[in-house]
Structure 1
Amino acid sequence: IYAGGTLSLLHAAVMARQYTRKVLVFDRHTPAQSTRDWNISHVELLKLADTGVFSASELDSVILRTYKTGWVEFYKPDGSQKRLYIQNVLDCAVDADLLLSMARDAVLSIPENRVLSQTSFTACYRFTDHIVVEVTDSEGKSYYYRAKVLVDMMGVRSPVAMQLNEGAPQTHVCPTVGTIASGFMDADFDTGEILASIAPADISSGTGKQFIWEGFPAKGNEYITYLFFYDEVDSKNDKSLLGLFETYFRTLPEYKKIGSDFRIHRPVYGIIPAYFHDGFSRTREIADDRIILFGDAASLGSPLTFCGFGSLVRNLHHLTADLDLALESNMLSKRDLEKISAYEPNVASMANLMKYMCFNAETDEPNFVNDLMNEVMVVLDELPERYRQAMFRDEMKIEELVIVMLRVAWRYPKVLKATWDKLGVAGSVGFVKNLAGWAFSSAR
């Protein structure tokens, strides 16, 4: 049984079609409909063809647009910022709903499978040889379904993840809002703007926020723009999506020129979760007896680049094969299931860099995040192209990250004080633990 009906459909489709498992997917809204559209590299997307569920031509049909190049740029008051161009990174805009619909159809192509809409998770009850999931439909009527295992993919607000992690399923978040719109006067339809800041941090309230934009062409004359920021979950900042939408519409004309024919086709939004693993390996709870968490419910992806969709695609083969083996062997205890995860030691280590992008007016100068990231872009520009591609694909090797960090520290010594301010003793020790775990892992 899958709780949640977006990314879960990709996993369920593989379990149903490749491993002939009987599956039930339910969602409190409408399955196969996402509140965001996705970007991924073409090479990564085509990995879905290896599952046998999708053909290469079907995957090509979900690509709304392929970009020739992408760039990253962080604001400098004097205009001296470095625009870093990156090839073959997040260069495909994907029609999320079309891909999910194809996965849903693959699930339903087997008569015994079911996909339920307007169905909410209520509770689950574990027994020795099965689990019972209680759900409620739109009229408030309760139903009970029995399964071997519950796959929780209810996202960042999952009540199961909340309970397993003692009310603290994330340490950091990235609230994200935007629109799919048309009528921009300066949209470049051949280029993806992967990260773009246009001003210093906003220090008008809370501890301050460094807003970052993202812009990608979609189908036809449509263009996707996102506004987001990184933050600690317990900061004083307003992290509501409604509040962020207000900032988005107020500042959008500063990012893109709006023409007289400007039109919004639909909003896009979400909260990207992150978790700091204070140890040599994964420390977040992602499983219990007959319960396993994937996607944003597990919060194991990188909030910097390769978010939930990319993380699931990259790990889909072993997440499905390993779960099938666990089902076949009846190895469904917490100890067994927590071995099946999308945890990657390199991603966990790289996620520490997000802490430097969480602005804090008490310790940071207004342009600190921009200044630091600009130095990172300069360093990456001086290094072979594989360094920038690896960083923005979450494929960096530990020795490559060390080279980048040392060069940034040499160019921008303020990062040493920032490390103390941002990470402190405990956080710095945790970062070292992550690096050590990465260095001695098989994923090095």
Structure 2
Amino acid sequence: MRNRFDFLGGVIFEGCSVSNISIYEDAAVLQLADGRILSSRLIIDAMGNFSPVVRQIRRGRKPDGVCLVVGSCCRGFKENSTSDVIFSSASVKKVGNSEAQYFWEAFPAGSGPLERTTYMFTYLYPEPESPLLEELLEDYWELMPKYQGVSFDDLEVLRVIYGIFPTYCDSPLPAAFDRVLQFGDASGIQSPVSFGGFGSLTRHLGRLTIGIHEAIENNFLDAESLSLLNPYMPNLSASWLFQRAMSGKKQSDVSPTFINELLFANFQSMEKLGDPVLRPFLQDVIQFGPLVKTLGLVMLNKPLIIPSIFKKVGLPVLLDWSGHFVMLGFYTFLSSFFDPVIRPWLSSFPAKTKYEWKRKLEAWKYGAGLDYSLNYLSESKKEE
């Protein structure tokens, strides 16, 4: 990939930092810390969650939620053939001056047959008394051997992993400046229940690549045009209910086992409904049909859990989520029925109108989660 980038004329400035970005009518100018000046038609801000450009756009606003992650990659796992996408074996517990619900993820590392990566993560309301990463790591070293059924005496720690992933309700982040586009985690395009947006970026990379190319080619580099590349997506906004419901918070009127009970009810229902419902959810893709089926089955099988959901997340959050839920259904309708009508006419539109409509069609499709398909899975099973 690096060789291809170099072959196409790309230049990499390693060990450099940007001290200033100035926007002009015909260019964006970057001033490096060493005094050098770079000029560009478009700046892609891929500096992640803590991008200084994003910090300026959000004006230092506190995140609406945060995911703390700690973990390690160790060598010495004799049983190393299974994976956990999400695992929980305990209820909400006190961590420091706060409450946290721990979740686990584990999978074989690609670097060796005995090497395994394990994560412990939790969702939190960002508050001054929230747990520290150090406190999570202390719990991780104590709990991981029990979770994996191993002893640290038999393991060699290869690397330790930790991170903080802030999330905001108003994501993805529209472009705030001409000629500057947030990309990847900086844009907030990842699901609030995932830590890191690599999977999300992989899903959106195709449409973003084409969209950026068309924006540059046609000089649609104003903030309004660039914002169409990071549009409102109701399936992403609908995920906020799950993040809220899975966040640890001390509440006297909610059982400490509520989160596990809710997860069990949801996954039990999705398992009954099969792969078309379960697999998209496991890959952070929320779709209207599967969501309706899951919620309906949960309400039928576990009706007594509904009052606890109201207590846990609060009425304002549920009302806000209801709006996104309706929009999820609306986007599904638009992508399924209106997209096939308008798409054949795109080639006859003027360049600007064509660009705008292509971005709208993409927003409907991706905002409804309809970019996800199980066809590849069916083909794999046929080959087996």
- Asked if residue 207 in structure 1 is aligned to residue 105 in structure 2, the reply is no
Tell me which residue corresponds to 1:116. Answer: 13
Map residues 28-47 of structure 1 onto 2, 5 A cutoff.
none
Contact 2:83 2:106 survives alignment (8 Å): yes
Tell me which residue corresponds to 2:377. Answer: none
Residue 289 to residue 402, structure 1, CA distance change in 2 (3 Å): same
Coordinate RMSD, CA, aligned: 2.3
Map residues 7-406 of structure 1 onto 2, 5 A cutoff.
103-110=1-8, 112-136=9-33, 141-168=34-61, 170-184=63-77, 187=79, 189-218=80-109, 219-220=111-112, 221-234=114-127, 236-238=129-131, 240-256=132-148, 257-258=150-151, 260-277=153-170, 284-305=173-194, 307-341=196-230, 344-363=233-252, 364-406=254-296
Residue 177 to residue 322, structure 1, CA distance change in 2 (3 Å): same
Residues 364-384 of structure 1: CA deviation (Å, up to 9, x unaligned) = 322221111111121122222
Aligned partners of 2:251, 2:158: CA distance in 1, in Å? 39
Report the alpha carbon displacement of residue 243 of structure 1 after superposing the two structures with TM.
3.3
Aligned partners of 1:143, 1:171: CA distance in 2, in Å? 37
Residue 159 to residue 259, structure 1, CA distance change in 2 (3 Å): closer
**Which deviates the most, 350-359 or 221-230?**
350-359
Q: Which runs of 5+ in 2 are unaligned?
A: 336-364, 369-384
Residue 412 to residue 223, structure 1, CA distance change in 2 (3 Å): same
What percentage of aligned pairs have identical amino acids? Answer: 27
Aligned partners of 1:365, 1:142: CA distance in 2, in Å? 58
Report the alpha carbon displacement of residue 408 of structure 1 after superposing the two structures with TM.
1.8
Residues 176-195 of structure 1: CA deviation (Å, up to 9, x unaligned) = 1211111235x4x2221111
Residues 91-129 of structure 1: CA deviation (Å, up to 9, x unaligned) = xxxxxxxxxxxx33332233x322222222322111111
Contact 2:101 2:246 survives alignment (8 Å): yes
Contact 2:48 2:186 survives alignment (8 Å): yes
Which SS does the other structure have where 1:226 is aligned?
strand
Residue 353 to residue 176, structure 1, CA distance change in 2 (3 Å): same
- The normalised TM-score by structure 2 is 0.79
Contact 1:183 1:259 survives alignment (8 Å): no
- The normalised TM-score by structure 1 is 0.69
Which SS does the other structure have where 1:114 is aligned?
coil
Report the alpha carbon displacement of residue 307 of structure 1 after superposing the two structures with TM.
4.5
Aligned partners of 2:128, 2:318: CA distance in 1, in Å? 19
Aligned partners of 2:310, 2:241: CA distance in 1, in Å? 13
Residues 270-322 of structure 1: CA deviation (Å, up to 9, x unaligned) = 23343324xxxx57444421111111111121143584111111111110111
Q: Which has the higher contact order (CA 8 A, sep 6+)?
A: 1
Report the alpha carbon displacement of residue 327 of structure 1 after superposing the two structures with TM.
0.8
Aligned partners of 1:113, 1:315: CA distance in 2, in Å? 23
Contact 1:132 1:145 survives alignment (8 Å): yes
Structure of greater Rg: 2
Aligned partners of 2:154, 2:84: CA distance in 1, in Å? 22
Report the alpha carbon displacement of residue 163 of structure 1 after superposing the two structures with TM.
1.2
Aligned pair count reads 330
One-letter amino acid matched to 1:119: C
Aligned partners of 1:241, 1:135: CA distance in 2, in Å? 33
Which SS does the other structure have where 2:217 is aligned?
helix
One-letter amino acid matched to 1:401: L
**Which deviates the most, 149-158 or 254-263?**
254-263
Which SS does the other structure have where 1:269 is aligned?
strand
Contact 1:201 1:211 survives alignment (8 Å): yes
Q: Going by fraction, where is strand more abundant, 1 or 2?
A: 1
One-letter amino acid matched to 1:242: E
Residue 126 to residue 321, structure 1, CA distance change in 2 (3 Å): same
Residues 156-181 of structure 1: CA deviation (Å, up to 9, x unaligned) = 11111111122237421211121111
* Divergent runs of 4+, >4 A: none
Q: Which runs of 5+ in 1 are unaligned?
A: 1-102
One-letter amino acid matched to 2:147: Y
